[in-house]
Every structure is written in C-alpha cells, then in structure tokens.
C-alpha cells in the first residue's frame, strides 16, 4: 500500500520544514508537466515509506493471522459454492428433505430445520454478510470523508451546523435508528447496505474533519492556494490523500462493525429476507433447534461471525500501529 508523506501532526519546526517538497519553481517545466509532477504531500514517490509500513504490518503476527482468516472466508464463501454444490433456494426441499440431520451423513455440518445443508448455507449466508460488511463500510467511509473534509475545510458556521447534525445523529442509539429505517423502508440487501452506511458515516466524518483542520493550515496547502489551486483540488488531491491513514484504519474497523450490525438485524428478524440469509439470521433461526440439542445449527454461524470480526479488528489495530511509523521515522 502506498501512503502519503505528510500526514503527521506537526512535531517540531525541523520536522515541518524537512520533508516539504520544494514548490516547482516554474523555470524549466513546461505547463503541461505541472499536473504530472509530485506536489508536496501527494501520494506518489513514497516507495521506502510504503515498504516500511508493510514491514511493520507483517511483523505483527496477529495481523497476518487476521489476513489469512479473511482470505480464507472470502474463498470459502465465494469459491466454495462452486466446488461444493448444495440446494439453497428450492421450495421442494422442505417437502422431502431430512431436517435437523446430524453432521456426517452426506451433510458434513448437518442440516437445519428447513432441510438446508448447513455447510452450503454457511457459504451462502457468508456471501451476504461479507458483501454487506464491505459495501456498507465503503459507502459510510466515502460519505464520512466527503462530509468531514467539506466541513473542516469550509469552517465557520457551516462547519458548526454540519457538526451539530453529526452530534445529533450520534446520540441516537444505533440499533433503534437502524430498526426505524428498516421498518419504514422494506428490507432488501441493498437497503440494508445503505441503512447501515447511514448510521455509520458519523465517526469518519468527525475524524476527517479533525485531520482537515490541522492539514488546511499546512505549508503545502498554502502553497497550492498561492499557486491558484482550486478548493476542490486542495481537498481532493491534498487533504483527503493525507488523511488516508485515518480513513483506512476506520474503514477496516467499520467492516467488522457492519458485520455485527447486520448480525443484530438478522437476530431481530430484519436481516436478509428469505430465501436469502446471513450469518445473524442463521444463528437466530437455529436457536430453538439448539435448545433441542442440534448444536450444529448455531455454533458454526456464531464462530464465523466471531472469527471474521476478530480478524478485522486485528488488521485494524496493526494498520494503526503501522501508520504510526510516520511518527517514529523522524
């Protein structure tokens, strides 16, 4: 991964002056080349830094374990069904299938109360959980970054109003807001992604606004402004890329949180609607059967959620440590 050179908070005068690239003097450069040149604080030309961050990340054994777990689950959920064919949406199944069959006999993880093969169901439900987790984290991050960067950069009373709005939404307990939204608009996979993103963009908005406030007064931003760079250019090419560390760390943790939120919705009965499913819905459906001794209907799904969430948390922690390399380097 590539990272910007300049996103550290000010440490001291020499630190501030040191890495700032000299502004193109304009004596030899043809006008057309200006866009291709690295300006101060841009994302290019950081090979050494990127490698250093990668090294710190790999030294963190938990993060590598987390990465393996996530790659495993992506392969399991998306490639698995190609190798292990099961019937996951056939209405006939309920009529003649063997329900609540114990693991072993033809179904490695048994079947559930409807007769679905549990191993195939885990792959099928995992697709929804992972897609919703990644997609809603992505949407939330994009909304939050744009909102926070605009608020921080514009400043003044617009910033104050925008941030009070964030405070208001943050004080509404997430699940209540989520349930209200899902009840008002009927549930579907796309709606659930949008709605989870809608309750999750507040934290990155705050983080990016904070970064923007410190970045907008930095020398290279001043330099771009003096050279006549537009506001869009300053925010889009300098402020956002320099907050990328914060953004990436947030997005990683948010995938875990989104998966947990989807699981909570599934538990309430507002998850992915039938015939689709997700790990939370599977867990919730399996509870009555588990009380009768059919343990395989809850433990595998529960284990999948816990493993994936822990894995994302490990990676998020490691990324946060790795990105602090920038602080340690000078």
Partner 1 sequence: MTGFLIRRILQAIVVILGVVFIVFLLGKLIPGGEAAAALGPRRSPAQVAHFNLVNGLDLPIYDQLWRYFWGLLHLNLGYSFKNNEGVKELISQRLPKTLTLVGVSTLVALIIAVPLGILQVVKRYSPIDYLLTSGSFLFYAMPPFFLGFLLILYFSFDLHLFPVSPPIDSGPLTIFTDPRAFVLPVITLSAITIASFSRYMRSSMMDALTQDYVRTARAKGASPNRVLYGHALRNALIPILTLIGLSLPAIASGALITETVFNYPGMGLLTVTAATNNDIPTVLGTTLVITIFTVAGSLLADVLYAIADPRIRFGSTA
Closest approach, Cβ 214 to partner 1, in A, equals 21
Indicate which single residue of 302, 320, 321, 324 sits in contact with partner 1 (rule: CB under 8 A): 302
Decide whether 131 or 174 has the Cβ nearer to partner 1.
174
Give the number of residues in contact with partner 1, rule: CB under 8 A: 42
Is residue 213 within 8 A of residue 152, CB to CB? The reply is yes
Quick one: how far is CA 229 from the chain centroid?
31
CA neighbours within 13 Å on the CB side: how many for 240?
19
Is residue 262 within 8 A of residue 105, CB to CB? The reply is no
Query: Considering only CA atoms, which of 110, 166, 122 is closest in space to residue 296?
Result: 110
Neighbour tally for 327: CB within 10 Å: 12
Please choose, out of 28-36, 41-49, 69-77, 173-181, the segment that lies near partner 1 by the rule CB under 8 A.
173-181
Q: Is residue 260 near partner 1 by the rule CB under 8 A?
A: yes
Q: Is residue 313 near partner 1 by the rule CB under 8 A?
A: yes
Q: Is residue 210 near partner 1 by the rule CB under 8 A?
A: no
Whole-number Å distance between alpha carbons of 305 and 135? 17
Q: Is residue 232 near partner 1 by the rule CB under 8 A?
A: no
91-120: buried (b, 16+ CB within 10 Å) or exposed (e) per residue?
eebeeebeebbebeeebebbbbeebbbbbb
Q: Is residue 185 near partner 1 by the rule CB under 8 A?
A: yes
Closest approach, Cβ 328 to partner 1, in A, equals 16
Please choose, out of 106-114, 144-152, 234-242, 277-285, the segment that lies near partner 1 by the rule CB under 8 A.
277-285
Six-digit token string for 54: 């990668």
Decide whether 81 or 103 has the Cβ nearer to partner 1.
103
Sites for partner 1 among residues 131-170 (CB under 8 A): 164-165, 167-170
Please choose, out of 29-37, 142-150, 151-159, 302-310, the segment that lies near partner 1 by the rule CB under 8 A.
302-310
Indicate which single residue of 79, 269, 275, 329 sits in contact with partner 1 (rule: CB under 8 A): 269
Indicate which single residue of 43, 69, 74, 310 sits in contact with partner 1 (rule: CB under 8 A): 310
Decide whether 101 or 263 has the Cβ nearer to partner 1.
263
DSSP calls for 265-276: HHHHT-SSPTT-
Helices and strands, counts by H and E, the chain:
17, 0
Q: Is the dihedral of CA 215, 220, 225, 231 positive or negative?
A: negative
Closest approach, Cβ 221 to partner 1, in A, equals 30
Q: Is residue 328 near partner 1 by the rule CB under 8 A?
A: no
CA neighbours within 13 Å on the CB side: how many for 324?
5
Binding site for partner 1 (CB under 8 A): 164-165, 167-177, 179-185, 256, 260, 263-264, 267-270, 280, 283-284, 287, 290-291, 298, 302, 305-306, 309-310, 313-314
């Amino acid at each position: 991964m590539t990272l910007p050179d300049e996103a550290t908070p000010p440490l001291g005068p020499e630190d501030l002056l040191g890495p700032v690239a000299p502004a193109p003097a304009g004596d030899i450069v043809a006008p057309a080349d200006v866009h291709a040149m690295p300006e101060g604080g841009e994302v290019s030309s950081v090979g050494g830094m990127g490698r250093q961050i990668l090294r710190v990340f790999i030294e963190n054994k938990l993060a590598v374990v987390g990465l393996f777990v996530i790659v495993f689950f992506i392969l399991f959920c998306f490639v698995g069904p190609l190798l292990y064919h099961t019937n996951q949406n056939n209405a006939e199944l309920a009529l003649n299938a063997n329900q609540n069959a114990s693991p072993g006999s033809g179904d490695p993880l048994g079947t559930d109360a409807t007769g679905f093969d549990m191993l195939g169901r885990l792959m099928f439900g995992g697709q929804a959980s992972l897609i919703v987790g990644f997609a809603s984290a992505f949407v939330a991050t994009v909304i939050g970054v744009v909102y926070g960067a605009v608020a921080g950069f514009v400043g003044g009373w617009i910033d104050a109003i925008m941030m009070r709005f964030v405070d208001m939404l943050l004080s509404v307990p997430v699940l209540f807001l989520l349930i209200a939204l899902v009840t008002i608009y009927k549930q579907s996979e796309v709606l659930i992604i949008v709605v989870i993103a809608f309750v999750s963009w507040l934290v990155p908005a705050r983080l990016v606004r904070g970064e923007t406030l410190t970045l907008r007064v930095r020398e290279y931003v001043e330099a771009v402004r003096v050279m006549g760079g537009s506001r869009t250019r300053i925010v889009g090419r300098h402020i956002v890329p320099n907050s990328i560390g914060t953004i990436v760390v947030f997005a990683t943790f948010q995938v875990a949180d989104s998966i947990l939120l989807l699981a909570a919705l599934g538990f309430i009965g507002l998850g992915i609607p039938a015939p689709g499913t997700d790990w939370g819905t599977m867990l919730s459906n399996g509870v009555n059967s588990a009380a009768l001794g059919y343990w395989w209907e809850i433990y595998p799904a529960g284990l999948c959620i816990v493993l994936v969430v822990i894995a994302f948390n490990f990676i998020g922690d490691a990324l946060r440590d790795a990105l602090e390399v920038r602080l340690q380097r000078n």
